[in-house]
């Protein structure tokens, strides 16, 4: 993951067109929806809806929860995106992944059990 993080992303032509048509917020909304399909949140939503028998209320609750958590991050990211050097962000992320991998290999969690 550390090495992969250092490889720059290539924006697909379709993603560029979506961003031009929908703006940054719309493109993020669509991308987020597609990226999150089938993740743990959706599985939890289905389980909660089955348990409580009110799927509409559960979907509304999970959607609002995700919006509360993610919308501020989108707006802050949009505001600072041009000011933050992406190479630095990728380098820091790669360093964190490398450190986590090293700590995992050294089985550091055994020190805390």
Residue 50 Cα distances to 47, 56, 64, 68, angstroms: 5, 11, 19, 24
Residue 102 confidence class, pLDDT cut points 50, 70, 90: very high
pLDDT of residue 96: 93
Residue 79: name the closest of 28, 35, 31, 36 by CA: 28
Boundaries of every domain in the chain: 11-82, 85-113
Predicted confidence (pLDDT) at residue 12 exceeds the cutoff of 70: no
DSSP characters for 53-82? S-HHHHHHHHHHHHHHHHHHHHHHHHHHTT
Residues 37-91 have pLDDT tens digits of 667 777 888 888 888 888 999 989 988 988 888 888 888 888 887 788 878 888 9
Which residue is associated with the tokens 């509360």?
A: 68
Q: Which two tokens stand for residue 21?
A: 């048509």
């Amino acid at each position: 993951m550390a090495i992969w993080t250092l490889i720059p992303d290539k924006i697909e032509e379709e993603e560029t067109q979506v961003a031009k048509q929908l703006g940054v917020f719309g493109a993020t909304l669509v991308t987020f929806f597609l990226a999150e399909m089938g993740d743990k949140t959706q599985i939890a939503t289905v389980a909660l809806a089955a348990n409580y028998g009110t799927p509409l209320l559960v979907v509304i609750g999970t959607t609002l929860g995700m919006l509360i958590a993610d919308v501020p991050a989108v707006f802050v990211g949009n505001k600072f995106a041009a000011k933050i050097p992406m190479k630095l962000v990728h380098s820091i992320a790669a360093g964190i992944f490398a450190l986590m991998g090293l700590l995992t290999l050294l089985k550091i969690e055994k020190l805390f059990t």
